Amino acid sequence: TSHRLQLGWWALRGERSTYRALVTTVAILREAGILLGEPDAGLSYEILNVLRDSQLYLRPSGFDVQLAFGEGYLQRPDDPPANEEGRVEQLLASAAYGAQLDDDKLEVSGTAFGRLRLFAPDDQPAPWAIGATARVRRFSYGDHGDPLGALDLAAVLLVSDDDLMNSQLGQRLTGQLGFTWWVNAASGFRLAANVGEDRGALFIGAELQATYGLLDGTFAR
């Protein structure tokens, strides 16, 4: 029986899905008298796919709001004069939302953050920054729940002010369109196109990510 299982798994080693391997395993064990019942191999496989699907159990769902107060102490050289020095208190806020739609094949999510310096002396600035991110992801699955990939669209807006006399309001708007293709449970590729605008300057780029087992690689241009 062990030899038959090894031969069966070896013959199906090139399959993208392990569905046929599971069906073959159940059939061999049943013929050998090890399995006395008649388990539904298809249903068992689909349940296992749901349990091990990292695209599913890592998705956000619901609201998350955090509010924090931070205090630190900065000591810097006198030359050149420092903009921030001594005690620095900050108000930090973040919020996130996620929803799973269309039988968990569509995800809508968003995050936002804010930072503001508090109790700044008259001779020091009180900088602030806010930002927001919105993302939509469409997941694709095979006939038996095998993850095939995902198409994602994201937009990011960042606004900040140093609160200095000669500085201007800074803002940056970026967008990204990407596609992820899973070769198997441990390997995959992701290709994304990026476009950004930073105070009148336009940036266009691309990014390629690859995962093979425990190895990760990224190329961006």
Q: What is the pLDDT of residue 31?
A: 85
CA proximity to 145, closest of 11, 32, 35, 52: 52
Q: What is the mean pLDDT of residues 38-46?
A: 75
Q: Where are the domains of the chain?
A: 2-51, 60-220
Q: Residue 57 has what pLDDT?
A: 67
- Provide the angle, in degrees to the nearest 10, between the axes of the packed helices 2-11 and 19-31: 160
Residues 6+ apart with CB under 8 A from 209: 189, 190, 191, 192, 216, 217, 218, 219
pLDDT at 181 over 90: yes
pLDDT digits (tens, 9 = 90+) for 19-29: 787 788 888 88
Cis amide leading into 80 (omega within 30)? yes
pTM to 2 decimal places:
0.74
Residue 112 confidence class, pLDDT cut points 50, 70, 90: very high
